[in-house]
Amino acid sequence: MVVDHYPLTSIRSIGWIPGSAFREPVVSVPALRAEPYSLDDIENTILRPIFHDARVHFANVCASVSCPALRSEAYRGKDLSQQLDDQARRFLSDTSKNRLDPTGHGLQLSSIFEWFRGDFERDAGSLNGFVARFAPPPIAAVARTEDTTIEFLDYNWSLNAQ
């Protein structure tokens, strides 16, 4: 989709309404349904409701700077759990997207954790518990404290040109 509309500054600039790119039909799977799937369909009618695994949010990549990094290999059934763990660790280790606040006592997290908070809480009992499971030790330690404050960072929808 990005290639078809290139050059562009953001995936959100595709279509008239912000986010319409995610509702544009892009993937045909005639064996499953007659009409093509949109990116929104794939995320919200297949991946999230069928697999019930919050780690999928680190495999979904929307081509924006604030998205998780695109994996350099295909996801494979036999390796999927390890690959998703690795993606979660990579994302939570990226200090441009997740970090300690300037005081060192709170967290500044990607908006992905705000938007899909329920998925992370379902999988780990709390957002802090999920973060502590996959974050680097300094962030995990702060996530484990009871009085941790969380600030959600602004999402950068600019095109990730990598």
Rounded CA gap, 140 and 121, in Å? 16
pLDDT tens-digit map of 93-152 = 999 999 999 999 999 999 999 999 999 999 999 999 999 999 999 999 999 998 899 999
Q: What is the pLDDT of residue 16?
A: 66
Kindly report the pTM of this predicted structure. 0.91
Q: What is the pLDDT of residue 107?
A: 98
160, 65 contact by CB (below 8 A): yes
Q: What is the mean pLDDT of the chain?
A: 92
pLDDT tens-digit map of 26-83 = 889 999 889 999 989 999 999 999 999 999 999 988 889 999 999 999 999 999 999 9
Rounded CA gap, 81 and 85, in Å? 6
